[in-house]
Amino acid sequence: MNAPVQAPAPVAATDAPPAPVLPGLPFTARWLLAPMEGVTAPSFRDLVLARHAPTDLGGAFTEFVRVIQGPVAHKELHKHLGTARFPIPVGVQLMGRDLEGVEGSVRNAVDIGVPVVDLNFGCPARGALKGCAGAAALKDPTGMVETVEAAVRGAEGRVPVTAKIRAGFDHAHDVEALARAAEDGGAALLTIHCRTRREGYCDEVDWTRIERAVNAVSIPVAGNGSAIVHADLERMRRETGCAFVMVGRGALADPWMFSGREVDAQEAAGFLVEYADVLASLGANVKGAAGRVKQLLNYWTAGGMIADEEQRGTWLREKDPAALLARLRGLLDESGAGGR
């Protein structure tokens, strides 16, 4: 196993974190890493956090943690948070409609030191909708208010509760009402993913929906949806008036996108190799680790490591997981780009 590539550590974890950019929220900068199921587990998230100063990346979240019946146990929350600590705050995201369960889960999260709890009102998966959770709330603003209220009760004023919505279920006519539902429930921040549930993850985005949410509420808003490169962060803020920008797949393409640091192909490959090594250390077999690396290669633009879509295809079509990882390790020994 290659030694993990040493990520630059801009700020030691023991340094005092900088002051939050807005009172009442823990975020140390205006750019946030989005919750992503199957990706923002500690294995990936920590690698991104380790590469950023808290003045560049202001916060991150766990993938959604389902509240099914009753409160999520401390042990489960710890699993999602991992053991490494950074000066960048990491919140827990919960998804569920069982009000007592949500309240108790938030209480448990606060007990173990979580600085902010987010609620998922955007997950389009059928399983979530069946349980009236995730994007189902977009058709039930009253239910959204109740869920946020339950979370706020659980937080007992000790940490802020934030809410993440999509722009609507089938259409975006009601962005304002949905944004207000989150605010009415007591959310301290609203994140709006500007696609509707029907739009899934389509390429087209309409950032004016973010601007509409900003104008509809008095709480700060985090805009989300196709902020892909570093320059998009400031552009989304300028065009919509949002206070924060949350990034999902842009960070899967380039984990350095929050700082805008341009890495070379070797360093980019180093991230993926380190990711595979971390997954292996957590018990993943070669196939599992390579599968997770491939998930990133679908998006990967960092370091010019993948020159074009044809070359991306050669990575994605590689059926032998060991060969895929060996090819990546090979890049560590090259000084420039390549990998064909």
Ligand X SMILES: Cc1cc2nc3c(=O)[nH]c(=O)nc-3n(C[C@H](O)[C@H](O)[C@H](O)COP(=O)(O)O)c2cc1C
Neighbours of 104 (CB within 10 A): 19
CA-based torsion, 228, 231, 234, 240: positive or negative: negative
For the bound state, the minimum distance from the C-beta of residue 66 to ligand X, rounded and expressed in Å, comes to 10
β-pairing, 90-95 with 117-121? parallel
Q: Are 324 and 316 in contact (CB under 8 A)?
A: no
Phi, psi of 204 (to 5 degrees): -65, 135
The amino acid at 253? A
Contact flag: residue 36 with ligand X (CB under 6 A): yes
Report how far apart, in Å, the C-alpha atoms of 217 and of each of 59, 88, 165, 172, 239 are.
Answer: 22, 26, 14, 16, 17
Q: Single out the residue of 30, 164, 212, 230 in contact with ligand X (rule: CB under 6 A).
A: 164
> Could you say which of 48, 227, 325, 328 contacts ligand X (CB under 6 A)?
227
Paired with 95 in beta bridges are 66
Query: In terms of CB distance, is 91 or 303 closer to ligand X?
Result: 91
Binding of ligand X by 224 (CB under 6 A):
yes
Q: Does 168 bind ligand X (CB under 6 A)?
A: no
- Chain positions 232 to 251 lying near ligand X, rule: CB under 6 A, are 247-250
Residue 124 lies near ligand X (rule: CB under 6 A): no
3-state SS assignment for residue 138: helix
Q: Which of the stretches 41-49, 177-185, 209-217, 221-229 binds ligand X when contact is defined by CB under 6 A?
A: 221-229
Binding mask 266-305 for ligand X (x = CB under 6 A): ----------------------------------------
Considering the complex, state which of residue 26 and residue 339 has its C-beta at the smaller distance from ligand X: 26
For residues 164 and 230, which CB has a smaller minimum distance to ligand X in the complex? Answer: 164
**Sheet with 161-166, side-by-side order of all strands:** 31-33, 244-247, 221-224, 189-193, 161-166, 117-121, 90-95, 60-66
Q: State yes or no: is 242 an active-site residue.
A: no
Q: Choose, by CB under 6 A, the member of 55, 105, 108, 120 that binds ligand X.
A: 120
> Is residue 105 close enough to count as binding ligand X by CB under 6 A?
no
Nearer to ligand X, 164 or 212 (CB): 164
Residue 126 makes CB contacts below 8 A (sequence gap 6+) with: none
Beta carbons of 121 and 137 less than 8 angstroms apart: yes
Choice from 46, 63, 254, 277 touching ligand X (CB under 6 A): 63
**Cβ contact 105:71 at 8 Å:** yes
Question: What is the contact surface with ligand X in residues (CB under 6 A)?
Answer: 34-39, 63-64, 93, 120, 122-123, 164, 193, 224-227, 247-250
User: Catalytic residue positions?
Assistant: 123
